[in-house]
Each structure stands twice: as structure tokens, then as C-alpha cells.
Chains A and B, each alone.
Chain A
Amino acid sequence: MGKTFSEKILGQKVGKDVVPGEIIEVEPDVAMSHDNTAAISKTFYKIGVDQVYKPGMHVVILDHCTPAANEKFAENHKDIREFVRKQGIRNFYDIHVGICHQVMHEKGHVWPGALIVGSDSHSTSYGAFGAFSAGIGRSEMAAIMARGKIWLRVPETIKIVVDGEFPEAVSAKDLMLKIAREIGADGALYKAIEFCGPTIDRMSVASRFVFTNMAVEIGAKAGYMIPNQATLGYLKDRVSQPFEVIESDPNAEYEAEYHFDVSTLEPMIAKPHTVDNVVPVSEVKGTRIDQIFFGSCTNARVEDFEIVAEILRGKRVHPDVRMLVFPASQEVYLEVLKKGWIQELVEAGCVIMNPGCGPCMGNHEGVPANGEVVLATSNRNFKGRLGNKESFVYLVSPRTAAMSALTGKIEDCWY
């Protein structure tokens, strides 16, 4: 019987055949942590080790509350800067560089066939580049710093096959929300998901990322795609080490298989307070909104800005709406600046913020008031996620967000 990509990558790491359900101890190729490195470093020293095992394995990116919102965050950042200096962790990106999951691949820390762990749940993201990547906890990261090892259970794999041409105005995010609705927030619990099919093969790097980024929202341990030409082209000048693309065998065994045809897909929206509470946008059309959060590791890349700028060009954001814009990274920021889109968004009345997570987990930079409704291009709408449990967060595509910005109500961009 054939092997899936996860059985192959994990098997390579331990140097033997592995099967789903087996628990193995592995040394990851790359280990990512962010603002939580302050807490991780304290736990690390508690273990009683002075020197990080293989500092080159670690990538530390400040993004979750940048610049520091108060003295507590400032102290955290200071501790982290001291820690990486002392430990010789050179892959350190300070507050100006961007969101961890974006910076990881921009700076060449992700490659096909790599085994990557991150102390952040959306570390499933790197599967879009053909890596096996999974989220872990803070203590686990501290233990990796001390011993270089972590236990992982070899997951069963679910296959999601996507076919058809997207109708105009419908995009990756709408499909991912539809997948969440069909499979459910726990539909892929502990499993790896392999996204494939002609539609996935044709997609841009930024669009493909949406799926592996949100794979964890339906419970997955890892998301995966065979890198397409666009992806390999993107990685070419970024990754310095040799790599091999790993593909599942044609006769690999999948636990389940789902098929989606996007040719009749409508724009979708996740209503408060769960990611699988998804309906077509038409069902909630007209709902009044107070704020838009255009940002996050899910949807704040160049192609997302292109759509938003196109819609807002020469127009005005509705006076009752605050539209907050967070480029995913410095690289994205510079590119959209050069294209003139930032100016257009400012003229339209948007508030341009710094690259980073922004209000995504409720730390700062746009926490909503009681009773307010927020349209977010991010990936999670749990109660209280943006910092106020009395607010209501809807997840949408950048297009739906921009169209709704103009009228102050949820708009359906379906023609």
C-alpha cells in the first residue's frame, strides 16, 4: 500500500516506515515562535539548560502585539531581544517585518519536504509550500530548545479535491468557508488534510495559503499541497538549501475524501461565533457593520490589496465604518505602496496600520466596543476573539469586506 505525504515526511525523519496512529519522536527542521518566546525562554531556563540546542533551527518573529501596547508587552519584547542575542538565534525578525506565518516563507524558512513546528495554531500554513507543519504548545517549544525533540502522532489523511473555475468575485476564502461549513469545525480532528485537484493546482501562492492556514480551524494537525509551478517559482530565490518535493503515492490510503466544485460557489460568510457557522453572504446581506479588519495571516497579501484597492478606488468608506488595514508584512507593504494602492486606500478613508497581527487576537489596535459588528478577513471568530466578548465578528473574503465598506452594510458581491 502507498504512503501519504505525512507518512513519507515523518518516516524520512525517523528513518523507518511509519503508519497512522504511531507516535514518534522527531527533530524538526525549523521551529517557529513569536511574542510567546518570552514565556518560552523562561520555561526553557527552568529546565536547567543554558544553551539552546541548535539555535539555527529556531525562527523568532515579533508580530502579535507590535509595537508593544503597554509595559507588559514591552518587557516581553525586551526579554525576547535579549534571549535571541544571548542564544545566538540569528533568524530573529523584530516588530517591523510582519506576521510570523507570512515572514516564514518570505524569508526562506519554509521548503518542500521540511518538518516544521510552530508555537502557534496556524503553523499548519506552511503545508501550502509542501512542508509538513503543525502547531505545538509553548512548553513543547521550550523542550525543543532544550532537547531538540518532540513527539508527534502520525496522522490519518483526508483528501479534499477541488474542481471547476471560480465565478467572478468568488475566491479562495469563500471556498475555505464553504469547506468549513461542510466538514465542520471538528471534521478533520487530528488529521492531515491534502488539498488537491485542478482548481488548487491553478491557484496563486497567496490563495493556496488560505487553505492550509485555515486547516486548523477544522481541527487538522497539518494541511498540505503539492507545490505548483507558481509556488516553486516563488521559493526559488528565497530558499537556499536543496529540497525534494514529496508527493503522496497514487495508491495511498485516505481516511475520507471530499469533492468540491467551485463553478457554482457563491460568496460565503462565517457568522458569529464559530468558523463553521457559514452561510452564503446573500443570507445576511444588509446587516449593519461598525468596523472592518482587513488583515491577518489569512488575507492581507498583495492580491488581496489589489481587490480591495480596485473596489475603493475613487470612493469613500461609509462614514459609520472604520476600516483598518494591516499589510501581512513589510514586503507586502512596500509592494502595495509602490503600486499606489496605499494612497488610494488612505484617500478612501481607510486607517493604514503596521504589518502585524493587529486586533486578531484582541491585544490592541482595533478592539471593538460592546454590540459592535466587525467584518474580518482573518480566520477565527470565536466569542471575544477580537478582545470583546460583547462584539460580533463575521469572517469574509477581502472582496466582501471592501464592498461592504462602501455602504456600511454587509454586501453580496455576487453578480
Chain B
Amino acid sequence: MLIKGKVWKYGNDVNTDVIFPGKYTYTITETAEMAKVALEDLDPEFAKNVHKGDVIVGGTNFGCGSSREQAASCLVYSGVGAVIAKTFARLYFRNCINFGLPALTSPKAVDALKHGESIEIDTDKGEIRCKAGVFKFPPLPKEVVGIFDAGGLIPYTKKQLGL
């Protein structure tokens, strides 16, 4: 898969409450509405200006906090193609896999990438290409590749059950 877009860069410890505020977790359920509040408490400009294929770049512990998967899915609905971070919080990483959103770990790429620059990600080759060069990222563990390839956990579960 090839992902192409612009970089939205943020710092360390971007938490689930600023990605998808807790007060919306039971009240906003439509995908278009979810996209509109993505990153609301971190960057009010994001939801208005994000384009399909854009990439979010964060530092360490990206997605810490709640188990709420809307913090991953709202980015999918807003068109985000991938998230790159130095490290991911555990639940966030799981939720990304479950929604088929590439969550890529590459500390070097994070340091090199600048807000607003163009980026290209080749998930098959495991490469991030940007102005500063090409960065490799490790592949997903083989046990969970199936979930990702099926398009997420729900389609995967269907497949497992033969539905």
C-alpha cells in the first residue's frame, strides 16, 4: 500500500483525550461527525484542513490514556493514512491494528520529519520517504498481520467464523 500526503507533527504523550475527547465517546457516533472532532483539544486546525493520505507524526507514548478506539478510528474517518511515532501506548497500537490504520514506529523518521512537509509511505517495502531521506520501519508481528490485512478486527473475526 502506498500512502501519500502531508505531515501533521505533534510532541510526546499525545493522549486519547486530546485526540478524541471523553465527553464525545458516547454522544458522537457518526463517522463524519467523529472526523470533525478529531484532535479537537490538541489542534483545532487539524480537522478543518486534513486531507486524505495525510500522516500524523508524534513523539513517545502516542495515544496514551483511554482504551477508547475512537481515538484511532476518528483519524481513519478523517482520511489519515498512517501514524508515525517513536513509541505507541499499548491500547492505542492495538486499536490501530483493529481499524487497519498503520501505526509505524520510527524514532529517526520522527526526528527528521517537519510539520507540513510531503511524505510517502510504502507499507509493503516498510519505507518512509521524505525530504530527509528514506527510513525503514519494522513489519507488524506475523500473528497480527492477518487482522491488518483483513482490513481490521471485525472483518478478520468474520473470516475466522466463516461468515
Which residues of A are interface residues toward B (Cβ below 8 A)?
Answer: 23, 25, 35-36, 38-39, 43, 46-49, 64-65, 70, 72-73, 76, 119-121, 123, 135-140, 142-143, 146-147, 151, 153, 185-186, 189-190, 219, 221, 274, 361-363, 367, 380, 382-385, 387, 389
Which residues of B are interface residues toward A (Cβ below 8 A)?
Answer: 12-13, 15-18, 21-23, 25-27, 29, 41, 60-61, 64-69, 87, 89-91, 94-95, 98-99, 141, 143-144, 147, 152-154, 156-158, 160-161, 163
- Give bound CA distance, A306 to B16, whole Å: 34
Contact between chains at B41 and A384 (CB < 8 Å): yes
With A36-B25, A151-B144, A384-B41: A137-B161 Cβ-Cβ less than 8 Å: no
- Give bound CA distance, A267 to B57, whole Å: 37
* Interchain nearest-CB distance for A184 vs B (Å): 8
Contact between chains at B161 and A186 (CB < 8 Å): no
Q: List 17 A-B contacts (CB under 8 A).
A: A35-B26, A46-B154, A123-B67, A137-B94, A139-B153, A140-B153, A142-B157, A186-B61, A186-B64, A219-B89, A274-B13, A361-B22, A361-B25, A382-B15, A382-B18, A384-B18, A385-B17
* Interchain nearest-CB distance for A145 vs B (Å): 10
Contact between chains at A151 and B143 (CB < 8 Å): yes
Which residues of A sit under 8 angstroms from B29, Cβ to Cβ?
39
Contact between chains at B90 and A219 (CB < 8 Å): yes
Contact between chains at A73 and B154 (CB < 8 Å): no
* Interchain nearest-CB distance for B136 vs A (Å): 20
- Give bound CA distance, A49 to B61, whole Å: 36
* Interchain nearest-CB distance for B31 vs A (Å): 13
Contact between chains at B67 and A119 (CB < 8 Å): yes
In the complex formed, the residue of B with least CB distance to A141 is B67
- Give bound CA distance, A307 to B3, whole Å: 56
Contact between chains at A384 and B22 (CB < 8 Å): yes
Contact between chains at A120 and B67 (CB < 8 Å): yes
Which residues of B sit under 8 angstroms from A38, Cβ to Cβ?
26
* Interchain nearest-CB distance for A266 vs B (Å): 25
* Interchain nearest-CB distance for B45 vs A (Å): 15
Q: Return the contact of A384 from the options B12, B17, B144, B154 (Cβ within 8 A).
A: B17
Contact between chains at A139 and B67 (CB < 8 Å): no
With A143-B153, A383-B18, A384-B41: A361-B23 Cβ-Cβ less than 8 Å: yes
* Interchain nearest-CB distance for B71 vs A (Å): 10
* Interchain nearest-CB distance for A40 vs B (Å): 10
* Interchain nearest-CB distance for A51 vs B (Å): 12
Contact between chains at B154 and A143 (CB < 8 Å): yes
Which residues of B sit under 8 angstroms from A385, Cβ to Cβ?
17, 22
Q: Return the contact of A146 from the options B22, B90, B144, B157 (Cβ within 8 A).
A: B157
* Interchain nearest-CB distance for B123 vs A (Å): 20
With A146-B157, A221-B90: A65-B26 Cβ-Cβ less than 8 Å: yes
Contact between chains at A143 and B22 (CB < 8 Å): no
With A49-B163, A147-B157: A121-B61 Cβ-Cβ less than 8 Å: no
- Give bound CA distance, A119 to B66, whole Å: 10
Contact between chains at A186 and B26 (CB < 8 Å): no
Which residues of B sit under 8 angstroms from A221, Cβ to Cβ?
90
Which residues of A sit under 8 angstroms from B91, Cβ to Cβ?
121, 135-137
Which residues of B sit under 8 angstroms from A70, Cβ to Cβ?
27
Contact between chains at B90 and A73 (CB < 8 Å): no
Contact between chains at A186 and B69 (CB < 8 Å): no
Which residues of A sit under 8 angstroms from B154, Cβ to Cβ?
43, 46-47, 139, 142-143
With A43-B154, A147-B160, A186-B61: A23-B141 Cβ-Cβ less than 8 Å: yes
With A137-B95, A186-B89: A380-B65 Cβ-Cβ less than 8 Å: yes
Which residues of B sit under 8 angstroms from A120, Cβ to Cβ?
67
Contact between chains at B21 and A384 (CB < 8 Å): yes
Add 10 more A-B contacts to A64-B26, A185-B64, A221-B90 (CB < 8 A): A36-B26, A47-B161, A121-B65, A121-B67, A121-B91, A136-B67, A186-B64, A186-B87, A382-B17, A382-B18
With A35-B26, A185-B13, A362-B21: A143-B61 Cβ-Cβ less than 8 Å: no
Which residues of A sit under 8 angstroms from B152, Cβ to Cβ?
139
